[in-house]
Structure 1
Amino acid sequence: MSSERLLVVIDPDRVEQPALDRALHLARKTGAPITLFSVIFNLTYEKTALLSKTERDALRDGLIDKHHRQVEELVTPLQQEGLSVDARVEWHDRPFEAIIRYVLDNDVGYIIKSTQEGGNRLSATFFTPTDWHLIRKAPVPVLMVKEHDWPKEGKILAAIDIDAEDEVHRELNERIIQTCTSLAKLVDAQVHLVNGYPGLPDNLFIEQPEFNNLGFNISISKQHQEHLEELGAKHGIAADHCHARQGDPEEVIVAIAQDLDAELVVLGTIGEQGITATLLGSTAEHVIYNIGCDLLALKPSSFESPLA
């Protein structure tokens, strides 16, 4: 992260703005410009039959102006501090689309957005929030912010797919680690690598009692740890900062993040589409509901937003 513009999504319903706090933490170190971006919408302003279209437009414009003045109250003291900050308010019934459209039309390096604390994973699976759309469809890195400090000498956890065989995933691994090391220098943090890998099916020993299940799992564990340490050494990351563990990747990432009390988890997402992605979500989406720290989701360099 250098001086790339930070697009901070302002939540009009929140008094505190953790995403803005995080953006300021970074901007004060890099000089990056910040745009405060807020999306508002009220269906009654669109559908009421008691008013003409001209009257509805006037009411809508008045609401936009009022909200823009509220956002400007955040901007003014930051400009007085010497930071490069501006504000934009848009009227749209699909916030993620307005955000991504702005990114596609402007030079934006990162989207920074606060997450909603709590939330029901089952209901969220069927009622996809803006967070999920941004993680899947935004063409730039998306930093999802929770109310967790970034102290000095903190920990950044890079989630790696050490078994990646295709070029897209290998390139994404490199991008994740490079992003982590750059951020670590910026905020005085340590980089840790994590890799979750599947074990053998539980019923394999019953079906094939002659198979040495334990020995095989030990061998696989050693292999993953060695490969992760080799990758870490390539980037100057110590072996004791490399954590390979058997289990579902999202569960392993969450467990290691909790063990380390990490400030940030960085992982990749390919931006899957279709009914399977909608119902099951990606690793990033599962992780975001279960970690108590920030999450930075990166796309491969070849990714193109479906809204482009």
Structure 2
Amino acid sequence: MNRYTNLLVAIDPDHEDQPAFTRALDIAHKSSASVKITLFLAIYDFSYEMTSMLSAEERQAMRAGVLRQREEWIASLVALHDTTDVEIVKHVVWHNRPYESMIAQVFDGAHDLLIKATHKHDKLGSVIFTPTDWHLLRKCPCPVLLVKQHGWPENGKILTAVNVSSENEEHIPLNDKLIDEAKAMSKLLNAEVNLVNAYPATPVNVTIELPEFDPASYTDAVRGHHLLAMKALRQKHTIDEAQTYCSEGLPEDVIPAVSKELDAELVILGTTGRVGLSAIFIGNTAEHTIDQLDCDVLAIKPDGYVSPLAPNSN
């Protein structure tokens, strides 16, 4: 089954090199089905809106000229690549919020994957000014592939982050969905599927407040619970024990560490789309993790997720 045949690629207006487009072509050329790639660019220049000496029609004409220039620029980028047997569509819009325009296009075009190049964010800036990547991770209804510089070699490795804790029932079907996604990508990329789970360390304050508390026994019990749950999950999906990792620590520390150890080409994460103040000050595991990884990240929403930007969500 070819999961991704209608790709939306976010074009970076500031660079000639377009890793997201390159990755989309990788998917298209490896796929056994016909693939359509829509190259999307949202541009906005406030100075065009403030030119009071021009009429509305003249401003509209100037905007149209800018859009045309950008479409021609995208066409020149396409000409540098092998697009044999791939349908390429160029879509340039005038919009001051790129993430909103991208998500609107996902709905309008029924895209099954959004691909965007990413880079390390300034941590303080990420808290005050949420990057477009974070908005997409929270609000995009389809999977989001964030592309970095790591290549996709043959016989590479895919790392899938699962949560085997039984505290949240939502994680059970999401784990299954993530592993199914990993298996589909492994067939496309001829790559090995690996699973990783992080379990919490013993809280230091408990050992201080309860002198009779045995931290070693507690740690062993927590680890044992997670190992058993991981065993059940890997057996359910017929994955070898050697391809599963269960480590103590925070997910945003454990996942990058295992990814580096494996030299993974792709990390697959689930993101629940947290919004509001909790997202600003806490963030999702996916958001904390992407900055620590030097490979691509595929973020998947749980079944039933409804984007706050869906056309009928209000």
TM-score, length of structure 2 as denominator length? 0.93
State which drifts further: 131-140 or 224-233: 224-233
Structure 2 counterpart of 1:113: 116
Identify if the C-alpha distance between structure 1 residues 121 and 156 changes in structure 2 by more than 3 Å, giving closer, same or farther: same
CA contact (8 A) 1:5 1:33 kept: yes
| Equivalent residue for 1:131, pick from 130, 133, 136 | 133
Identify if the C-alpha distance between structure 1 residues 171 and 41 changes in structure 2 by more than 3 Å, giving closer, same or farther: same
Amino acid at match of 2:24: A
CA contact (8 A) 1:75 1:87 kept: no
Amino acid at match of 1:127: F
Q: Distance in 2 between matches of 1:177 and 1:165?
A: 20
Tell me the matched-pair count.
Answer: 307
Tell me the percent identity. Answer: 42
Say what the alpha-carbon RMSD is for the aligned residues: 1.5
Q: Distance in 1 between matches of 2:161 and 2:14?
A: 32
Q: Deviations over 1:185-214 (max 9, x none)?
A: 110111111111212211322222222211
Structure 1 counterpart of 2:27: 26
Task: Say whether 1:61 aligns with 2:84.
Answer: no
| Secondary structure, aligned partner of 1:153 | coil
Question: Is there any run of 5+ residues in structure 1 with no aligned partner, and where?
Answer: none
Q: Deviations over 1:18-70 (max 9, x none)?
A: 11111111111113211111111111111222322222111111000110111
Amino acid at match of 1:204: V
Deviation at 1:283, TM superposition (A): 0.6
State which drifts further: 133-142 or 258-267: 258-267
CA contact (8 A) 1:159 1:253 kept: yes
Structure 1 counterpart of 2:268: 266
State which drifts further: 201-210 or 59-68: 201-210
CA contact (8 A) 2:199 2:222 kept: no
Question: Is there any run of 5+ residues in structure 2 with no aligned partner, and where?
Answer: none
Task: Say whether 1:6 aligns with 2:12.
Answer: no
Deviation at 1:80, TM superposition (A): 5.8
| Secondary structure, aligned partner of 1:143 | strand
Q: Distance in 2 between matches of 1:145 and 1:172?
A: 22
CA contact (8 A) 2:162 2:197 kept: yes
Q: Distance in 1 between matches of 2:229 and 2:267?
A: 20
Structure 1 counterpart of 2:85: 82
Identify if the C-alpha distance between structure 1 residues 25 and 273 changes in structure 2 by more than 3 Å, giving closer, same or farther: same
| Secondary structure, aligned partner of 1:113 | strand
Amino acid at match of 2:55: S
CA contact (8 A) 1:75 1:86 kept: no
| Equivalent residue for 2:204, pick from 202, 205, 222 | 202
| Secondary structure, aligned partner of 2:13 | coil
Q: Distance in 2 between matches of 1:205 and 1:170?
A: 31
CA contact (8 A) 1:79 1:85 kept: no
Q: Distance in 1 between matches of 2:240 and 2:212?
A: 38
Q: Deviations over 1:102-124 (max 9, x none)?
A: 111122110000002x3311211
Identify if the C-alpha distance between structure 1 residues 279 and 48 changes in structure 2 by more than 3 Å, giving closer, same or farther: farther
Q: Distance in 1 between matches of 2:287 and 2:305?
A: 18
Identify if the C-alpha distance between structure 1 residues 17 and 80 changes in structure 2 by more than 3 Å, giving closer, same or farther: closer
Deviation at 1:166, TM superposition (A): 4.0
| Secondary structure, aligned partner of 1:265 | strand
